[in-house]
Amino acid sequence: MAHLPELALIIPVFNEEQRIAKTFNALRDFLKHAKISRLDIVFVDDGSRDGTVRAIQQFQGECSSVRLISYPDNRGKGFVVRKGMLAASAPYRLILDADMSTPLTEFEKFIPFLEKGCPVVIGTRKGRGAIVAKPQAWYRRKLGEGYTILANLVTGVKVSDFTCGFKCFTGYAADAIFSRASIDRWSFDAEILFLARAGGFQICEVPVVWRNDADSRVRLTKDLLKSFVDLFRIRFRRGRKPLV
Q: Residue 114 carries which side chain, given as an amino acid letter?
A: L
Residue span of the structural domain in which 71 resides: 3-238
Could you tell me if residue 133 is inside a domain? yes
DSSP strand pairing (66-71 vs 131-134): unpaired
> Does 244 fall in a domain?
no
Q: Quick one: average pLDDT of 7-15?
A: 97
Residue 241: what pLDDT?
A: 47
pTM of the model: 0.91
CATH number for the domain that contains residue 42 = 3.90.550.10
3-state secondary structure the chain: CCEEEEEEEEEEECCCCCCHHHHHHHHHHHHHHCEEEEEEEEEEEECCCCCHHHHHHHHHHHCCCEEEEEECCCCCHHHHHHHHHHHCCCCEEEEECCCCCCCHHHHHHCHHHHHCCCCEEEEECCCCCCEEEECCCHHHHHHHHHHHHHHHHHHCCCCCCCCCCEEEEEHHHHHHHHCCCCCCCCCHHHHHHHHHHHCCCCEEEEECEEECCCCCCCCHHHHHHHHHHHHHHHHHHHCCCCCC
Tell me the CA distances in angstroms from 132 to 38, 122, 167, one per residue in order.
31, 16, 17
Per-residue pLDDT of 128-184, as tens digits, reads 899 999 888 888 888 888 888 888 888 889 999 999 999 999 999 999 999 999 999
Question: Quick one: pLDDT at residue 217?
Answer: 57
Distance CA 215, CA 101 (A): 11
Region of 201 please: left (phi>0), alpha (psi -120 to 50) or beta.
beta
Residues near 24 by Cβ (< 8 Å), separated by ≥ 6? Answer: 55, 59
Task: Give the pLDDT confidence of 186-208 residue by residue, as tens digits.
Answer: 889 999 999 999 999 999 999 99
**Residues with Cβ < 8 Å from 61, sequence gap 6 or more?**
none
Round to whole Å and give the CA distance between 214 and 200: 36
Give the contacts of 18 (CB within 8 A, at least 6 positions apart): 50, 215
Give a yes or no: residue 210 inside a domain.
yes
| Number of folded domains that form the chain | 1
Q: Identify whether 243 is part of a domain.
A: no
Q: Give the pLDDT of residue 242.
A: 42
Average pLDDT for 7-11: 97
Domain membership of residue 152 (yes or no) is yes
Residue 64 in any domain: the answer is yes
The residue among 230 and 227 whose pLDDT is bigger is: 230
> Quick one: average pLDDT of 12-29?
96
CA distances in angstroms from 54 to 14, 27, 132, listed in the order given: 13, 17, 32
